[in-house]
Structure 1
């Protein structure tokens, strides 16, 4: 499968999942809030596609992140069935799907930012690249928490499912910590493979 067909498969499958998600979601307002970033991000990627294409690795990671957001929008992060099952089986205190979402919020943007910085020759591989990518991911996470805070102030109890705190007073701090772990994990685990993907993409 060539790159274009691979990208098209990702897009078509994502549109199908998006259509499924809007059919009888648990809460339509929460669905909109959760899915909106994925729709905006996808629109931007389509718009810049003729001029700037990411590696297949990054496109695949973005696809995964979008699915996490869309599924969270359909069920809400506090009521995702699979993670409710985990909660019951392992006697957990909460549904941890939101933790997965915030881990991804660090993991996937780390690879996107890394690729943008390297391909535009803003930074070279090394400690500064690692530090700045992680810092930018933390900034994204903090900005998202401020966005949730703003939505909660403006809409009151209507944003309760969007916040997904599940009674945890430290939920915001845990969210940012998981995003931090996600960013660090991505760079340590996928850094070398990402370098290989960049070289392969440049040759083609």
Structure 2
């Protein structure tokens, strides 16, 4: 009975956590996309500024995986966010083909890819912050968990806007592609508001699924991303 229980717990952990392959596949997709995006981007400076988060995150994830494996839900969201950054870095946010297509289809006044990116900037970090707080603090099950997650996402969004400001001060006109304001004087406010919307939507839509995967992580993970 004891052996069967252990097998059952491991099976549930793999099912909820996504199994052995998912994190490796997601990592491979992101790395390949990053390398390809670095081939003749529209602006090398913009590519570096947009993708530096991915370049830093990948080795950090690899170094900490054995001690602190992530849920597959979070891995999938981080991979999706990385691809959003990579695409924006290659073409610049104001020139992405998918954004131009959306602009034409919906008869918009601007390429909306930047807006989408800032929704994602709240949607994905919400799950990341939630996972960190649930696993490393006494906030699991607390009514303060969701408000603190939203506040953390807003803080990150505000920090990113300051990074854009610093880039404009240092780089001048060369940083225009990174800012991607497209002439909107309220672009900074829109960015933070959309990040707020993304964070709230993420908590409303994903909290239950995230909790199921977090419970599965009570079983030590056996997935090793390192080759």
Q: Would you say same fold, with TM above 0.5?
A: yes
Q: How does 1:20-99 map to 2 (within 5 A)?
A: 20-99=36-115
Could you state the TM-score of these two structures normalised by the residue count of structure 2?
Answer: 0.86
Q: TM-score, normalised by structure 1?
A: 0.96
Partner residue, 1:13: 29
Moved over 3 A (4+): 1-4
What runs of 5+ residues in structure 1 fail to find an aligned partner?
Answer: none
- Cα RMSD for the two superposed structures: 1.4
Cα distance, 1:13 vs structure 2? 1.3
Higher relative contact order (CA 8 A, sep 6+): 2
Which consecutive residues of structure 2, in runs of 5 or more, have no partner in the other structure? Answer: 1-13, 221-227
Aligned equivalent of 2:163: 147
Kindly tell me the number of residue pairs found equivalent between the two proteins: 204
Q: Which has the higher helix share?
A: 1
Give the C-alpha shift of residue 119 in structure 1: 1.1
1:189 matched to which residue of 2?
205
- CA 1:49 to 1:203, structure 2 compared with 1: closer, same or farther past 3 Å? closer
Q: In the alignment, is residue 163 of structure 1 matched against residue 167 of structure 2?
A: no
- Residue of structure 1 in register with 2:127 after alignment: 111
